[in-house]
Amino acid sequence: MVSIRVFEPALCCNTGVCGEDVDQALVDFSADLDYFKQQGIDIARHNLANDPSSFVDNAIVMNFLNAAGSEGLPLVLVDDVTVLTGRYPTRNMLARYAGQAATLRPRINLVTAGGGGCCGGSGGC
């Protein structure tokens, strides 16, 4: 089973969904996290303020913090491989990380050139 771990910056509470000015990305991520937990996915979040030992105990996370600092968080690991930094994953990203993306259909946008070939007649691509 895939293991997804999200290492977050210091938040005011475990979820960051508290106070007067709540970040919508945290609200969405908290809902998505609950959804995937209910699906039986091994997913967990670690808050730097409330769970610092999980940061210290993980060499990948410590190396990341030494290089990027806490400003680079959140850090998302899938089976100890860094897959995302600096923002929270979307539900579609979490589905892909969890191996459930096969049920999602990607949207493909086709781009057509307006005369002159693939480069629009500029002569160089």
Query: Is residue 42 within 8 Å of 3, Cβ to Cβ?
Result: yes
Q: How far is CA 6 from CA 24, 69, 109, in A?
A: 17, 15, 31
Q: What is the pLDDT of residues 42-101, one digit of tens each?
A: 999 999 999 999 999 999 999 999 999 999 999 999 999 999 999 999 999 999 999 986
> pLDDT value at position 15?
53
- Return d(Cα 23, Cα 27) in angstroms, integer: 7
Q: What is the pLDDT of residues 97-118, one digit of tens each?
A: 999 865 544 445 555 555 544 5
Query: Is residue 69 within 8 Å of 61, Cβ to Cβ?
Result: no
* The pLDDT of residue 5 is above 50: yes
pTM of the model: 0.75
Torsion of CA 6, 10, 16, 19, to 10 degrees: -170
